[in-house]
Structure 1
Amino acid sequence: MRRITETKAIPFKTTRVNDPALAKGTTKVRSRGVAGARKLTYEVTFTGGAQTAKKLVREVVTRAPVNRVIAVGTKRTSRCDPNYSGGCVPIASDVDCAGGSGNGPAYVSGPVRVVGSDIYDLDRDGDGIACDD
């Protein structure tokens, strides 16, 4: 009878965690996984030079695996201009009131309230309400 020792890898696991700081639909590896290791000791019986029995007598984890952690983005990115409320004024090179005489490329159906700078000049009469004609 002989004792034989083998080393075997312990695979790492992958966990996913939500991250409100990352944009929705993006992922980032927070920590990469590292395989662990275990040492297996067997008593092996040989008869006539051939192995006839093998019994595990000891198992020791010599290095624990480290899980891989992947952050999954949950932050919604707004495509609406924060200078307006009450409707989504798209962020574009130019925005005009829908049904008006403007040539876009983007349009908004009003009315919407101007809460910041009227960067697209949608509030022609200056009353704080855009696209209300």
Structure 2
Amino acid sequence: MNRKSLAGWAAQASAPPLEIQRKERWEIRWKAFRDCARYRRVPIGEATGWTLTLHARYYEFSLALREQLEERQDALEVEQATLEAQLAAPAAAPPASRPRPAGDARQLHDWARERRRELTSLDAL
């Protein structure tokens, strides 16, 4: 299969086929046979030096990730506690734009109507 590369100034250069060469196939097989012979006699439950180094490396990675996760979790818990405290606090009624008049019934009626309109507009926000 002869593909054309579309990268850069060498737009007409052909790319090599994507297949494993004979030497690479032989190397992969040889490593597979070597691993079978080397680790065949390891009892179940015991580890070789290679697996112990891998476990140590991954253990370090997992500890670093766990520390990052715990720090983030602590920060989120603090944020959640502050938000819950804000929700638990009683909402204070917004102050009136003008104080309640001490006049006749018409002034009280107009004030109450304006106050209701203010409160509904604040609820809509």
What's the TM-score once normalised by structure 2's chain length? 0.20
Q: Which has the higher helix share?
A: 2
Q: Which of the pair has more CA radius of gyration?
A: 2
Q: Which has the higher strand share?
A: 1
User: Which of 1 and 2 has higher RCO (CA within 8 Å, sep 6+)?
Assistant: 1
